[in-house]
Amino acid sequence: MRIFPVSTQLGRPLAALGLLAMIIPTMGTGCSGNNVERPDASQIAQGPYVAGAREGVYLRASFDSDPSMYIGRFISPGVASDEIDENRGVQTSCSQYITYREVNAAGQFDEYYQSSTSVKASLGLQPPAISGAPSGQASVGNERTTNVRVRYNLTKKIVAHIEDFDAYNSCCESAAGACSGKYIGEFWAGEGTLFQNTGRATDVSVGGQGGPDLGGTAYQIGGDVEVADGWAWRRAITFDDVYFAFRVVDAEISGCAWIDRPPQSDEGQYFVGISPPAATEDIARTMAMRNARTQVVQYLGEAIVSESLSRANLQGYLDDETVVATAAEGIASRVKDERYCPAESVDSPEGPTYIARVLAFFPYSEEEKARREMVESIAEQTGDEEIKAIEDELAEEEDTTSEESAQDTSEAPADAEEVE
């Protein structure tokens, strides 16, 4: 278990992360001062795409190796969404019915994260220096919750488990307020880097010394600061093999009714993935997510085919299980698991097997990129020139959308404000 403030690596204490000025190196300009002409906004690199914050997932106040004591603690409805952290959870008489399991997980992600003001203070992060912080298309409330970005490799989860739903529901019905609001249902472990938003990429001086002052902090491109999604990000903390995030789920649980009635959302599409019988619960959960991602590929492919007769030849490849399965793995990071049903045990001549069901969510904000990646995968697998032509069309559409978005950003009025 290791967690490293970046400032410690540089010989500075974590508390000074937001207070020390950093030097902006000269980048081939031949000058050293603040009087450097800023490039046109359209010339500023937007950096890699960053996925929107997941619904109900929050950064922890402290990272450790065993947060299981918090599983099943309830978050009161009176706690604002931008002030949720695990320390606000309360154990009630019904928490006894919520146990947990540790499961393996995998995936590489780069996402915005929700985090309360108290969590930011605990981690030594400064309040956002500008208004309108990025939200990644997710409706997560006040922008104070979205100015933190995490790039990480997920390795395992602690997941809440209710074995006896009848007893749990009876407890909730008999004890007023015992199950109100939400409860802490998952903790996520892995290794990665936490970044703090420091301003728009278009506000970054790419040469000279100094740079814009945001809340008393000057910063550099390169070193501890990078550009992603059109914003400048300062590397704050690196972590390794610790539980760094948690998820809250609705307390009003009625089994797994979502299997037959998936929820609706204006932000994206839900899919229910079901595994074939598997030797272990972990394998079953993995296969259930693969099934959900396969459904997403079918969903995207059918939409592409319906747009033009010239794209109809894609349909044949959507019926090829091997091609679709490979394409589905290519968009794995864009399809997010929301919750799992308890694995169903099925007896077989070889011994017990397990069937898992997962509720997966695919954000509409990911659709354009996922469409191109899916078609690119099919083109590479098949060598079909007509599919390659579709890929080129989708790439042009994506580039056009990105240019329009960058233009809108550059034309937007500056709304920077100092933090007192």
Could you give the CA distance from residue 250 to residue 1 in angstroms, rounded to a whole number?
A: 31
Sign for the pseudo-dihedral over CA of 299, 263, 251, 78: positive
Could you give the CA distance from residue 55 to residue 113 in angstroms, rounded to a whole number?
A: 10
Could you give the CA distance from residue 394 to residue 270 in angstroms, rounded to a whole number?
A: 24
φ, ψ at 62 (rounded to 5°)? -145, 145
Closest among 329, 320, 325, 332 to 384, alpha carbons compared: 320
Is residue 167 within 8 Å of residue 97, measured between CB atoms? yes
Cα end-to-end span (Å), the chain: 36
Residue with tokens 């929107």: 52
Is residue 200 within 8 Å of residue 219, measured between CB atoms? no
DSSP string computed for 116-182: -HHHHHHTTPPPPSBSS---TT---SSGGGSSEEEEEEEEEEEEEE-S-HHHHHHHHHHSTTTT-SE
Residues in the chain: 420
Could you give the CA distance from residue 261 to residue 275 in angstroms, rounded to a whole number?
A: 18
Is residue 270 within 8 Å of residue 347, measured between CB atoms? no
Could you give the CA distance from residue 132 to residue 139 in angstroms, rounded to a whole number?
A: 13
DSSP 15: G
**Beta-carbon count within 10 A of 351 CB:** 7
CA–CA distances in Å: residue 282 to residues 68, 72, 277, 342, 343: 19, 21, 12, 11, 9
Note down pLDDT in tens along the chain; length 420 residues. 555 444 444 443 333 333 333 333 334 444 444 443 443 444 345 556 677 777 788 989 889 999 999 999 999 888 887 788 888 899 999 999 999 989 888 888 888 888 877 787 777 776 554 444 554 433 333 334 456 889 999 999 999 988 787 788 888 877 767 887 789 999 999 999 988 887 776 665 543 333 333 222 333 344 577 887 777 888 888 999 999 999 998 876 556 777 887 877 778 899 999 999 999 999 999 999 999 999 999 999 998 888 877 787 888 899 899 999 999 999 988 998 888 888 888 988 888 999 999 999 999 889 988 999 999 999 999 998 988 998 888 888 877 766 555 555 455 444 434 333
Identity at 295, one-letter amino acid code: Q
DSSP 314: H
Could you give the CA distance from residue 243 to residue 71 in angstroms, rounded to a whole number?
A: 13
Q: How far is CA 110 from the centre of its chain?
A: 6
Is residue 278 within 8 Å of residue 355, measured between CB atoms? yes
Q: How far is CA 222 from the centre of its chain?
A: 24
φ, ψ at 35 (rounded to 5°)? -85, 65
Is residue 111 within 8 Å of residue 150, measured between CB atoms? yes
- Reported as type and span, the H/E element at residue 288 is helix 281-307
pLDDT of residue 200: 72
**Parallel, antiparallel, or unpaired for β 225-228 and 231-250?**
antiparallel
Cα R_g (the chain), whole angstroms:
23
pLDDT of residue 175: 76
